[in-house]
Each structure stands twice: as structure tokens, then as C-alpha cells.
Amino acid sequence: MVAPDPTEFGDVADAELCYLDLVEVGRRVQAKELSSVEVTGAVLERIGRLDGRLKSYAAITADLAMQQAELADNEIRQGFRRGPLQGVPVAVKDLCDTQGIPTAAGMAIRREHRPRQDATVVRRLREAGAVLLGKLQMTEGAYGQHHPSIEAPINPWSAEHWTGVSSSGSGVATAAGLCFGSLGTDTLGSIRFPSTMNGLTGLKPTWGRVSRAGVFPLAPSMDHVGPMTRSAGDAAALLGAIAGADVDDPTASHQAVPDYLGGIEDGVRGVRIGIDRALVARGVDADMARAVEEAAAVLSAAGALVRDITLPSPDDVARDAVLQCGLEAAVVHAGTFPSRAAESGPLLTWLLETGRMLDHAAVARIAVNRQAFRVQLDALLGDIDLLLMPASNTAAPTLLDMSPARRTPEAVQARIRITAPFDMSGHPALTLPGGTTGAGLPVGFQIIGRHMEEGLVLRAGHAFQQATDWHRRHPPLD
């Protein structure tokens, strides 16, 4: 791609525009205060200027984006309105099929794969009038490590720190103002980790709330597609566009899709929020623990009723989550693994081999533990409305902390025990920026809700963000 000449777009080609909320950009474009062509050109210029070092994009669809922007502007001039995403530039993780555009899922083996049709979520973004800037880089097969042939995305807050996986490109691009929102996927924490590490708002919806048709799977019964944005309101707008039943995905829920954005201002007065302080105190660093307590104080001041609870132990189900992931991934990759194992990176190879070795007794035990955790969590969420938790065990780990040499089973277990259980249970979880470390790097926390109650989770996130400005802070790039 040849980057547009920034002088062509005048004053709009600056960081101030590129860090506007998605919903605000849509409002201005639809009010004809800005054109989608201007905004899209400004973001493409910024990508051309910054992504050479951030490496968040796997593919940039500049020509398509400008065509879609022109279409949006023409429709708006004619009075045809599609909703809050109309004319807004977004991007999607490179496991979402895009017709005729390479979709590699971070894998060397799929580098030349060009889908014949869009994934359902991509089609729904197009129908909502969004502008597709490109495909965002990710780890191999959506597991925990980038393929050796891929240059991993760089955390825009600090090149020495982890971006989170597997939706690494989605996290970096959205944080750096290289799109106004993005789609990621979450199987063990892969929306929430990169959202936390890059200072974003990331939503893992209820399993089945969003169609997975045309999205390359890691572990189908645990995979969730969801928005990564800079605010809860933006996440509500994106979720409203992509959620709903789908004939191409029989697991997609037929439950009606609420107006998430329309209810975002309803607040949290009287909402019961639980915290397991014993769990937070065990294996969570001081920055993460402080973010949870400060979030509790803010939500309490907004009218929520915060109280202590005891979460069902996440340890067994977190341990089992990796095994279940391996089991399902081995089925997904059966056509190419082990027959083409030499083309896979070491961590995906380990996962697939682990899944292939599981015996029937282990599979049965995992299923029993998984169901027990879900039932116990549902019972807890009968007594409270929302659960408040850290987003990770450690704030802002370095690349050295996350290196293969330090990837022990114990380290992996400690990291995912706060995220993976909710992939196993399918409950919605929203990650929000809630502070910084002493070095100024983002720290996040999670809000978990009942199945299909993303609206309440998003309301709580918005209430927090109305009272704080952590989500308004941007990495030091400009």
C-alpha cells in the first residue's frame, strides 16, 4: 500500500481524530461534519506512518476501504442510514474470512488462503456500513505464540512489554489509533489479555451470542468472537452489529439482540456486584489487586451494591481449559497435523500433540469439571448480578517474562486461571482499563455477567468510564 498524502486530508490527519470514540466518529460522519473518505484517508496515512514498527496489520485493504468510504458518504448524502458504524473504519483479526483477501490465521500453512466469502461477522460489519481497513496480525492458529516466520506486533506503550495473545494485532492497532475498533477472538483470554496490556476495552460475549461461521477455530466450544475498542459504548455499538442468529452457525443463539448502545446510560444503581477478595489476594500482583478495589469504589459511588463473595474454585477448570483446547484443536487440524507438522511453530505443535494424546478418562473428567464450574457459577450469579475480577495475574509483563524459557505449566496456569474458566463456562466478560503501573503501563480488570446479559455488563463498564478517564489515555506515539 502507498500511504495517502497527509496534506490531502488537511487537519483531519492527526492523532486527535484517530483517537476519537468509534461512536463519535460515526456521529460526525453521519452528520456530514466529516466525510468517511477523509477519516479513512487519515487512518490509512497513520497506518502507513506507524505500522512499519508496530506490525499490527497482516494485510491492509486500502483500495477496498476507500471504496467502502465513498459508498458510505454517498448513502449518507442520499439519506440512507445504516446505524452507528456507518462510515467508520475498523479492522478484523486475520482469522475472520474476507472474500478474496488472504486469511492466514497466523499460520504459514494458510498464507495463501483466499476465502470465497466473508465470515458472518465481516458481512454484518459491511451491512452496518463499516469500512474495512484490513486484517490484523495474530498468533499461530490463535494459540499462544506467533509463528516463527511472523514479526510479532509491538506494544505501543513499551516495546519491551507483552502485547497479549492471540488477538495481538487487534490490541495494538486499536490502542495506537490505527482503527476505531476491531474484532478479536477469545478462547483462553485472547480478547482480554491484549485489551488489558494495550489499555483497551474488550468484550468476550456469551458463547453463541456472536456467530463463528467463517472464523477459523481454535477450540470451537470455547471460541468467542467479540469487539476490542477504546470504550464500553464503542463495544456496545460493535456487538450490536455482529450479534444474532445465523443459519451458517447452528450454535449461534436465536435470542433477540438488545439495543446495547441504547441502554448504555442506564447505570448500575442497585446492581449487586461481588468480589472474591481471597482469590484476588492469592496469585495476583498489587497493581491488579488495586485496580479491582478502585473499580469497586467507583461502581459503589455510582450506586452499585458491592459485597464479598466466594467464587467456585477456578483452578481445576483453568488447568482443564488447556487440555480441552488441545483436544478440540487436534480435531480442527487433523487434515494437516501431523502430516505437515514441520510447518507449524513449536507451541502450536505442542498443543496439538497434547490434544492427540488425551485418553477417554481425561476427556470425561474435563467435561464433568467444566459442567460443575458452570453450574456453580450460575448459582452464584443468582445471588449477585455481576462479578468483579482482575484481568490477569500480572500487570504489564515483559517480553522476557513471557519468553518460552519461562513458559512453565505453573506460569501458564497462573496466568489463565482468571480468564479461561469463563471461556469454559461461556459467560460474558468485559475487560476495562483501570489504572497504570508505576511505569505508566495499563492495568485492567474484568466484569463478568450472566449468560446473554452483555447489556448489563456494558452498562457497568460505561458507568465506570463515565467516572474515570483511564480509557482516554493513549500510548506515547505522537
C-alpha span between 160 and 453 (Å, rounded): 37
Catalytic residue among 36, 56, 166, 425: 166
Spell out the residues 6+ positions from residue 58 whose beta carbon is closer than 8 angstroms to its own: 94, 102, 104, 106, 134, 135, 136, 137, 138, 169
Note whether residue 241 is domain-resident.
Answer: yes
Domain count of the fold of the chain: 1
7 in a structural domain:
no
Give the residue ranges of DSSP H helices in 55-200: 62-77, 120-127, 168-175, 192-198
Q: Which of 300, 311, 245 is nearest to 268 (CA)?
A: 300
Among 387, 389, 399, smallest CA distance to 441 is for 399
Residue 64 falls within a domain, yes or no? Answer: yes
Question: Measuring CA to CA, which residue among 437, 354, 348 is closest to residue 392?
Answer: 437
Is residue 163 a contact partner of residue 171, using CB atoms and an 8 Å limit?
A: yes
Residue 166 annotated in active site: yes
> Does residue 100 fall inside a structural domain?
yes
Query: Would you say 338 and 303 are in contact if contact means Cβ atoms under 8 Å apart?
Result: no
* Domain around 420: 13-246+262-472
Handedness of CA 153, 156, 158, 164 (dihedral sign): negative
The H or E element that residue 395 is part of is none
Residue 117 lies in a domain: yes
pTM of the model: 0.96
Catalytic residue among 168, 170, 182, 190: 190
Q: Say how far apart CA 254 and CA 93 lie, in whole Å.
A: 25
DSSP state string for 335-366: TTTTTTGGGS-HHHHHHHHHHHH--HHHHHHH
C-alpha cell at 300: 459503589
Residue 332: which CATH number? 3.90.1300.10
Q: Per the structure block, which three cell numbers stand in for 237?
A: 455499538
CB-CB neighbours of 114 under 10 Å: 11
Q: Which of 126, 94, 133, 91 is nearest to 110 (CA)?
A: 94
* Under 8 Å between Cβ of 102 and 148: no
Measure the CA angle with vertex 29, ends 25 and 31; round to 5°: 115
Q: Return the number of other C-beta atoms located less than 10 Å from residue 245's C-beta.
A: 14
Distance CA 35, CA 24 (A): 13
Whether 257 maps to a domain, the answer reads no
What is d(CA 112, CA 244) in angstroms, rounded to the nearest whole number?
A: 30
Quickly tell me which residue has 496466568 as its cell.
415
Cis status of the peptide bond prior to 338, with omega within 30 of 0? yes
478 assigned to some structural domain: no
Q: Which of 55, 93, 135, 204 is catalytic?
A: 93
pLDDT tens, N- to C-terminus, the chain (478 residues): 344 443 444 444 477 899 999 999 999 999 999 999 999 999 999 999 999 999 999 999 999 999 999 999 999 999 999 999 999 999 999 999 999 999 999 999 999 999 999 999 999 999 999 999 999 999 999 999 999 999 999 999 999 999 999 999 999 999 999 999 999 999 999 999 999 999 999 999 999 999 999 999 999 999 999 999 999 999 999 999 999 999 999 999 999 999 999 999 999 999 999 999 999 988 899 999 999 999 999 999 999 999 999 999 999 999 999 999 999 999 999 999 999 999 999 999 999 999 999 999 999 999 999 999 999 999 999 999 999 999 999 999 999 999 998 999 999 999 999 999 999 999 999 999 999 999 999 999 999 999 999 999 999 999 999 999 999 999 999 8
Q: Is residue 5 part of a domain?
A: no
